[in-house]
Amino acid sequence: MAKKKISITDIAKDLNVSITTVSFILNKKAKGKISEEVIKKVEDYVKKVGYKPNQLAQGLRTGKSNIIVFMVEDISDAFFSSIARLMEEKSYQNGYKLIFCSTENDPDKTRDLIQMFKDRQVDGYIITPPDGFEKDIKSLADDGHPLVLFDRYFADLDVSHVVINNQESTFLSLKHMIEGGFRNIGFVTLESGQSQMVDRLEGYDRAVSLYGLSNYTLRINFKDFKTLKAYNIIEDFLDENPNLDGLFFATNYLAKSGLRVLKNRNITIPDQVGVMSFDDNEVFELYTPQISCLSQPIESIAEKLMEIMLKQLKNTNSNGHIIHSELPGNLVIRQSSFKN
């Protein structure tokens, strides 16, 4: 068993003061109430014995757990795990623990998880909500839980969120490809009503119609990635549209599936087909040729998320702090997106 830990009562006893006094000093509420010498005596002693308050007891008393939960689509995805790593550090710096989980875009699983976190009095929620999760998010917000959505959001809901400018970012990527000489660019996306996917599609539609080009869109169900069926769906798409000379993938895992297809078919990039993807990924830099992409500002996203979350955590009852943050994406031009 772990060594018995010292408690506030022990300190009070050892120093012949009341636990009230010790508690006030510990919580910096001693100014003007407790004499300087007692403050000093207690502080020195606390430092000497290395006392740390029991968070469970504090939590029980104050109703706070100091836990923030970070619910993403899939924690093993590079985009999400990179942000998780940054969030983890920022949480600890601010005295919070970060726990995380993967929703797999499954509303039922996500609902169960949220219920569990409520039961365990998690203080704050950072969520990439699945499709059709609007009501659940609304009730979480209505209950007054600190809450920030990211990567996607619900336009009808007055809930804080951090996203990037998906529409404009996709538009700029397509513009780059079109100006690079590609005329029949297919857009490979998810069968999803999530805002970020809708916005990306709109960016594509806008670019294609602005330049008077044909529209080729493929929507794949998220679940088909588990079964690798996505691979065959992309193959069929290529077969049905033999005149395609470019492909834009709306997420990094879509791009990876697509690259597998192109690779196995020995289709040369960019000569036969130009390629770009949303999200950067290690694979893209090491691929031959290197794949251009629209990269999300990981560091800024994490920073903004934590900033908004902390603001909510501090003033528990006011929900007058709804913040909608939209960050710009970065066009990363490598070799796959323009003709030589």
Partner DNA sequence: CTGAAAGCGCTTACAG
| Rounded distance between C-alpha atoms, residue 38 and residue 16, angstroms | 10
- Which of the listed partners (a second copy, DNA, none) does 287 bind, with a CB threshold of 5 to 8 Å by partner kind? a second copy
| Identity of the residue, 49 or 210, whose beta carbon is nearer to DNA in the bound complex | 49
Contacts of 91 (CB under 8 A, 6+ apart): 68, 97, 98, 306
- Which amino acid, 170? T
Among 7, 82, 217, 300, the residue binding DNA under the rule CB under 7 A is 7
Report residue 162 as tokens: 């951090």
Angle at 209 (CA atoms; ends 207, 213), nearest 5 degrees: 95
Q: Does 120 contact a second copy by CB under 8 A?
A: yes
Region at 28 (left for phi over 0; alpha for psi -120 to 50; beta for the rest) = left
- Which option in DNA, a second copy, none does residue 120 bind, with CB closer than 5 to 8 A by kind? a second copy
7 or 217: CB nearest DNA: 7
> Shortest gap between Cβ of 193 and a second copy (angstroms)?
25
What secondary structure does DSSP assign to 198-221, as a single string?
A: HHHHHHHHHHHHHTT---EEEEE-
Q: DSSP per residue over 251-311, as a string?
A: SHHHHHHHHHHHHHTT--TTTT-EEEEES--HHHHHSSSPPEEEE--HHHHHHHHHHHHHH
Distance between CA atoms of residues 308 and 148, nearest Å: 7
Please give the DSSP secondary-structure letter assigned to residue 69.
Answer: E
182 touches 204 (CB < 8 A): no
Q: Is 257 in the site for DNA (CB under 7 A)?
A: no
List residues bridging with 72 in a β-sheet.
Answer: 102
Nearest to 124 by CA among 320, 326, 334, 311: 311
Answer with the entry of a second copy, DNA, none that 27 interacts with (C-beta below 5 to 8 A by kind): DNA
49, 57, 116, 210: residue in contact with DNA (rule CB under 7 A): 57
Complex with DNA: residue 47 or 61, whichever CB lies closer = 61
316 is a site residue for DNA (CB under 7 A): no
Residues sharing a CB contact under 8 Å with residue 332, sequence separation 6 or more, in sequence order: 280, 292, 293, 294, 295
**Which residue's CB is nearer to DNA, number 58 or number 319?**
58
Does 27 interact with DNA (rule: CB under 7 A)?
Answer: yes
CA separation for the pair 66, 89 (Å, rounded): 14
Q: Is 134 in the site for a second copy (CB under 8 A)?
A: no
283 binds, among a second copy, DNA, none (CB under 5 to 8 A by kind): a second copy
**Beta carbon nearer to DNA, 21 or 195:** 21
Based on the shown chain and the rule CB under 7 A, indicate whether residue 58 belongs to the binding site for DNA: yes
Task: Give yes or no for residue 311 binding a second copy (CB under 8 A).
Answer: no
Q: Is 102 in the site for a second copy (CB under 8 A)?
A: yes
| Residue burial 282-319, b: 16+ Cβ < 10 Å; e: rest | eebeebeebbbbbbbebeebbbbbbebbbebbeeeeeb
Among positions 252-291, residues that touch a second copy (CB under 8 A) are: 256, 259-260, 263, 282-283, 285-288
**Considering the complex, what minimum distance in angstroms separates the CB of residue 25 from DNA?**
9
179 binds, among DNA, a second copy, none (CB under 5 to 8 A by kind): none
Please state the closest distance from residue 178 (CB atom) to DNA, in A: 60
User: Which residues of this protein are in contact with a second copy, per CB under 8 A?
Assistant: 1-3, 52-57, 59-60, 65-67, 74-76, 78, 81-82, 84-85, 88-89, 92, 97-102, 113, 116, 118-121, 143-145, 256, 259-260, 263, 282-283, 285-288, 316-317
User: Which residues of this protein are in contact with DNA, per CB under 7 A?
Assistant: 5, 7-9, 16-21, 23-24, 26-27, 29, 32-35, 38, 51, 53-54, 57-58, 60-62
